[in-house]
Chain A
Amino acid sequence: MIEVKSATRVFSMGTTKVHALRGVDLRIEDGEFVAIMGPSGSGKSTLMYLLGALDRPDGGSIFHGDQDVAGCNSNGLAELRGKRIGFVFQMFSLMPTLSALENVELPMVFQKRPHAESRGRAHQLLDFVGMGDRAKHLPKQLSGGEQQRVAIARALANDPDLLLADEPTGNLDSATGFQIIALLKRLNREELMTEILVTHDAALAQHAHRIIELLDGHLLTRDGPSQRATPGGTSDGSDPRA
């Protein structure tokens, strides 16, 4: 469970202060698939960074379970990210010098997991995202969709509690983008993964159980009934595996 309590974030741009978040309260249950929407400058990226423990709030708190992001030093945040959070970014999120397999292994390297174990799990994860036969390929040898699949496999490496996807289809054509969304939905449905999808695309957001809209650093609560993922259940009726 993730709980955001009156989180604020202020950036100093020279002498002016930009209030990116002006007190956000939010609660995301385990197994939820939440979309965060909002136009540019609404604070959705800032909220995502706070949720992803990439940044600390200036005020309020963000709890991942019992751990408050606000109270962590950079080391603690790295620990939190490494163990509990998986990221899928819009683009260029793979290490260009490492093969698909090594990219998936990377989070496990930083958790000091034994090499053989990491390798085995990386192969499993690549198989899971359908990239088992491309394990030795470098990112530049892969298409955009394939790169995002590898990124998803990497995000799952340390078996996180939360998967954060920041515009995961932004650089993909709609068909490939749909495959990525389908993969995310499958993960939520089959593996009960808690997922947060950050997007400005309303159609994409429709795939989530719940949409959180941000404007000028405030939450526009449109808290519809949270539809907890259940194995086999779908929220929009389109089964990607079909």
Chain B
Amino acid sequence: MEVILVLRDYLRLSMKSLRRRSLRSWLTILGIVVGVAAVVALIAIGEGMQQSVKQQFDTIGYNTIILGEATGKSLFPGAGMPAVPSAPTGRGGAATDTPDEEEPTKEPAEEMGEGKPAWTKLRSDLTPEEIEAMKAQYGGEGRAIAKPMGDLVTSGSEGEPVDLEVLRVELMAAVLRDEMTPEEGAWGYAAAGVRIGEWTRAEAQDIGQRFMQEAAAQATESGGNAPGEAPPVSPDAPDGPQETLATADMLGIEVLETLAELPSVAAAGAQREETALVSSEGLQGIGVLRLIGMTPSMPDDFPLYFEGYAIAEGRSFAEEDLLVIVLGPGVANDLAVGVGDEMTVQGTAFEVIGILAEPEQVGGGFTVGDTKFSLFVPIPALEALFGNEGTFSMAFVEVADGASIDGVAQQARDAFTQAGMPISATTASELSAEIGAAVSSVNLTLSAIAGIALLVGVLGVMNTMYTSVLERTREIGILKAVGAKDRDVLGLFLTESALLGLIGGGLGVLLGVGISGLAGSLISGSLAFGTVSQVAESAGLQAGASSGLPPSFSAWLILAALGLSLLLGTLAGLLPAWRGAKLPPVKALRYE
């Protein structure tokens, strides 16, 4: 009771003396306001960023693996991706082992943009009858392949020039896939080189030997299987990372389909984005719009990601559909087309089979983005328009309940590596953690800067209180003369500095809320969102069209900010108040 009484008097007296020097008091308070506002705003924005990151991954679900291009910024990662087994070249160092055999500058990928070059012929390209005929003619498993290979190489003049390195990689991959024996591969390779005059028959012996050794070494490395043995495909052991899911000539979509057949995978779907020139049949409208190709079941399998994909009219496409299109309501309206009408995309006629509902408020999060002005077609249709079959911008793999996400992610990685595609497989929690860590470190830095601002404010309070004590030395003398004890003087000055802190804190919280509200979208657009999309892009993702990250204010944050400013105000006043309290009354009274 007495404490409250005393505190009330202290408050009354302190308020009065603060008001007397109102300009200085307000300037001092301003220092605290700026510091607290900075802290509150940055923490709120930081919390908002963290929550937003979490929310983004909640929308796609933590049992989802996101597949995308491993490098580069392109959102169309598969573009120009050949079915070239770059993996064996990279892994085994096969190319560099035999540098004398070819011009090392030549990139196999450049040559093989459209699949296998015409001049290669593998055993799998031959009919059993042909093989039998060759065996009868040349004898032996290995030799059988040498003749057709050599023939093809010499006939290369009619088409492309022969690249021995490409041939070598092709053959090595075929051996690893068990399509031919190492012996056959070695024969083919050696014979081809002799035919085009690259090396002599004697040299060919050694080269063939080395090829076989390498094939054996690579086979051991890739799966622990001796060459020639069938790799153990065991879908019953879904987490086995050595499980062979893909082969070198598979395209991205095919790898994905193979993945989808695993029991540990509940669903898989891919999406590919292009920008297309679209117009209605009667040219009522024309525009360049976002065209999304996707596997038919994507909206059903990943409903949260495709939240905006709600059919209002007509239907979505099915597996067998090709030149059909689903329109966002904005597109349908602008082009004046309805279900059943025809429209033109990149010069090709499409039948409109569905129109989406008007999207609700475009929230933040990791979604397909704006659906109002987007067009959706089956991936094969997109491939027909833009080429680059088998590629995708992004794909999702949903892991079945109970299966190991990391295991499936590893399988996916292995499958794409084996297919020679630089596709990354990232689990939602990995990505979330990665982005979360980035956001955290940004937050930490920002908070430190805000903390410095607050420290400056605290020093301002300290300075003001020192000045105040000095100015009021005579008043301190009078207070002591009328019976104020040291602790009364201390209490008065501490109350004053605490008030400076608290008022500054209160206004700072208000200003901080205002600032982060105003700047939230700006900052999230440039900073937070930038971070998110950078990390996301590195995984080949496109983050959804977030309209800004709302800052997050918890009661805890506001109370903590007020408490902190009260505490800092008090601490800042401690030394000056102590000095005032300890002044000898005589000295204080004599002070002019």
Contacts and interface: CB of A to CB of B under 8 A. Distances in A.
A109 B5 CA distance: 9
Interface string A16-45: 000000000000000000000000000000
Nearest to B15: A97
Contacts of A106: 479, 482
B486 A78 contact: yes
A95 B483 CA distance: 14
Contacts, number: 71
A81 B474 CA distance: 17
A83 B480 contact: no
A14 B415 CA distance: 89
Contacts of A82: 482-484
Among B9, B19, B482, B586, max chain A CB count under 10 A is at: B482
A114 B2 CA distance: 9
Given A89-B589, A112-B5, A158 B486 contact: no
Contacts of A96: 20, 475
Interface in A44-97: 49, 52, 54-55, 74-75, 77-79, 81-83, 87, 89, 92-97
Interface residues of B, number: 25
Contacts of A154: 482
A98 interface: yes
A97 B12 CA distance: 11
A218 B57 CA distance: 90
B488 A52 contact: no
B486 A75 contact: yes
Interface in B444-491: 474-475, 478-486, 488
A107 interface: yes
A82 B482 CA distance: 5
Contacts of B485: 74-75, 78-79, 110
Contact of B483 (A55, A93, A158): A158
Contact of B474 (A78, A79, A92, A98): A92
Interface in B314-348: none
Given A110-B488, A158-B483, A93 B585 contact: no
A49 B16 contact: no
A148 to B, nearest CB: 14
A157 B482 CA distance: 9
B17 interface: yes
B491 to A, nearest CB: 11
A158 B484 CA distance: 13
B584 interface: yes
B277 interface: no
B468 to A, nearest CB: 12
A136 interface: no
Contacts of B478: 89, 93-95
Contacts of A75: 485-486
Contact of A98 (B2, B6, B16, B481): B16
15 contacts: A52-B481, A54-B585, A54-B586, A55-B584, A55-B585, A74-B485, A77-B585, A78-B483, A78-B484, A83-B483, A96-B475, A97-B20, A98-B16, A110-B483, A114-B5
